[in-house]
Amino acid sequence: MAPSAPREGSGPRLRADAARNRAQVLTAARTAFRELGTAAPLDEIARRAGVNIATLYRRFPDRISLIRQVVVDAFDLVLQAAHSALATAQQDPLAAIEGFLLHLVDERDMLVLPLIGGPVTDDPEATELQLQIEPLLEELLALARAQGVIRPDATAVDLITTAALACRPLPYLPAEQATALARRHVRIFLDGLHPEGARRLPPSITHEDLRTHLHGRPDAEGERG
């Protein structure tokens, strides 16, 4: 007689299957949220993930928990990219800034975030990740200012919004062309960071302004990702 299939949690194989299913659901959710907004039907997300709807609900009991995890994963990716940039910034801070922005462009399919048209969430973990990102970027900019390689009025918000604009989906272009265009615009921005011949900028806003405007908006359910 063939051995019966192991029950959930009964062995390593199922744990690996569960992790794979969870990753597939999150990948499908990111794509669906970008294309259809956060009101994308959960059964459509399950179909794209190649799992049944019961499996999706086992991993994420409701839409809010799925949205939350997509956003948390994206902010965590940005935070790790900021840490990596800062770790290399002493030698060449401008190259570290470039690396930070281009890494986000390359990973933009992971970035379903409010500034990229994605969902807004007040989840405490997502908020904490956001709060950790800004000081890292300010420290990165401070190193670049100290070496005289960027204009003195560039802010962390400039980096955040540039990354958001470069990472927005371009669904009508083939993926390779969309990536090439985004990387081109990052390099145009980087040239604008140089202090030589820089024109005075209009006043910036703060990171807190960004968060206030985003989280003060009405619920964005159904907003396109």
Q: pLDDT, tens digit, for every residue of 32-86?
A: 988 888 889 999 999 999 999 999 999 999 999 999 999 999 999 999 999 999 9
pLDDT at 113: 75
Average pLDDT, rounded, for the chain: 83
- Which residues make Cβ contacts (< 8 Å) with residue 66, sequence separation at least 6? 25, 26, 29, 42, 45, 56, 60
DSSP 115-178: GGT------HHHHHHHHHHHHHHHHHHHHHHHTT-S-TT--HHHHHHHHHHHHS--TTS-HHHH
Nearest residue to 166 via CA among 145, 154, 184: 184
Whether 117 shows a pLDDT value over 80: the answer reads no
Whether 111 shows a pLDDT value over 90: the answer reads no
Please tell me which residue, 8 or 197, carries the higher pLDDT value: 197
pLDDT at 94: 94
pLDDT at 4: 41
At residue 39, φ and ψ (nearest 5 deg) are -85, 10
pLDDT at 100: 96
pLDDT at 13: 53
- Which residues make Cβ contacts (< 8 Å) with residue 206, sequence separation at least 6? 157
